[in-house]
Amino acid sequence: MTIDIIEPDSAQAAAESVERAFSWFSEIERRCSRFDLDSEVMRLSAQIGSPVVVSELLFQAITFALSVAELSGGAFDPTLGGSLEARGFNRNYQTGETVDSGLRTAAVATYADVVLDPVGSTITLLRPLILDLGAVVKGMAIDLAALELRSFENYSINAGGDIYVAGHGPDSDRWNIGLRNPRQPDQIFETLRVSNVSVCTSGDYERRSGNGFAGHHIVNPKTRRSPPAIASLTVVAPTAMVADALGTAAFVLGPRRGLRFLERQGVEGLIVSPTLVSHETKGFSRYRQ
């Protein structure tokens, strides 16, 4: 993660805000990581059939994930943790350790098996399943970090390719964001000029499984395979949580349905195919000017 603040009035105020901003990432990790058996979400995943009282943060993350699941007709599904673990996506990136939850999961489980009770702040899992909030919580952490920086005019937050920018960068009236060529990730495919938005990119080159699974880290819940028709997908949206999650949903829906989905949700997106042909939403080109 990188945070940049352009010419803050007080270096000390900036340092304190940056520290508070970073602390959201560890807080979210502690509550929402699938790669830590002691995290709140993994303790929840170990309790099937009875209501569990959860923190506000976890409740909000799951509520948001379930609404994206509904909006996308189940293309997005936060109950894929078992499938992802079985495919070898189970290494803690901080410790390098492989995490085996030992939890049994039902192949038929879907987001419909997660029941929310906002009054009691409880969540009930109706079938054995492992929640995976990987497509939601990085964006959520960026948005919470941005709240800590709101007294500054010009700043950027970059969490591994998911970005939020406010105001302008060091030498422009906006921020310039380079999108990688998905087949040559050390090269820039094109540059966007944006301000006060989040830009999140998902790529098929990003993460591969450790155990020979042919796909990458995005899985279609219906086929249990990785969607083959998209190499990378970028969403520009007002918040990182929205950009992050809608991007993953559109990735599963595929180029045509994915772009229609993004347009319906009122956000802009760019999809690059494995042969480097791009398709984009109607309003996307405004970010090139």
Closer Cβ to Mg ion, 42 or 133, answer by number: 133
Closest residue to ligand ADP in the complex (CB):
134
Q: Which residues bind ligand ADP (CB under 6 A)?
A: 76-78, 80, 84, 132, 134-135, 138, 162, 202, 206, 217-219, 221, 244, 247-248, 252
134 binds, among Mg ion, ligand ADP, none (CB under 5 to 8 A by kind): ligand ADP
Closer Cβ to ligand ADP, 2 or 289, answer by number: 2
Contact flag: residue 244 with Mg ion (CB under 5 A): yes
Distance between CA atoms of residues 270 and 288, nearest Å: 12
Distance between CA atoms of residues 183 and 180, nearest Å: 8
HSE of 205 in the Cβ direction (CA atoms, 13 Å)?
A: 15
Tokens (6 digits) for 176:
């310039």
182 binds, among ligand ADP, Mg ion, none (CB under 5 to 8 A by kind): none
Tokens (6 digits) for 74:
């189940």
CB of 134 to Mg ion, least distance (A): 8
Closer Cβ to ligand ADP, 8 or 182, answer by number: 182
Closer Cβ to ligand ADP, 109 or 252, answer by number: 252
Distance between CA atoms of residues 104 and 250, nearest Å: 29
Closer Cβ to Mg ion, 76 or 287, answer by number: 76
CB of 211 to ligand ADP, least distance (A): 15
Q: CA distances (Å), 4 to each of 8, 154, 156, in order? A: 10, 8, 5
Q: CA distances (Å), 285 to each of 9, 86, 162, 178, 288, in order? A: 34, 40, 20, 14, 5
230 binds, among Mg ion, ligand ADP, none (CB under 5 to 8 A by kind): none
Q: What is the footprint of Mg ion within residues 45-74 (CB under 5 A)?
A: none
Determine the Cα angle at 265 with ends 261 and 269, to 5°.
65
Distance between CA atoms of residues 272 and 157, nearest Å: 24
- Residues 6+ away with beta carbon under 8 Å from 153: 6, 166, 167
DSSP-assigned beta bridge partners for residue 278: 272
Closer Cβ to ligand ADP, 69 or 166, answer by number: 69
76 binds, among Mg ion, ligand ADP, none (CB under 5 to 8 A by kind): ligand ADP
Contact flag: residue 268 with Mg ion (CB under 5 A): no
CB of 162 to Mg ion, least distance (A): 5
Answer for the pair 213, 193: CB distance below 8 angstroms, yes or no.
no
CB of 168 to ligand ADP, least distance (A): 25
CB of 222 to ligand ADP, least distance (A): 9
HSE of 237 in the Cβ direction (CA atoms, 13 Å)?
A: 24
Contact flag: residue 132 with Mg ion (CB under 5 A): no
CB of 119 to ligand ADP, least distance (A): 26
Binding site for Mg ion (CB under 5 A): 162, 200, 244
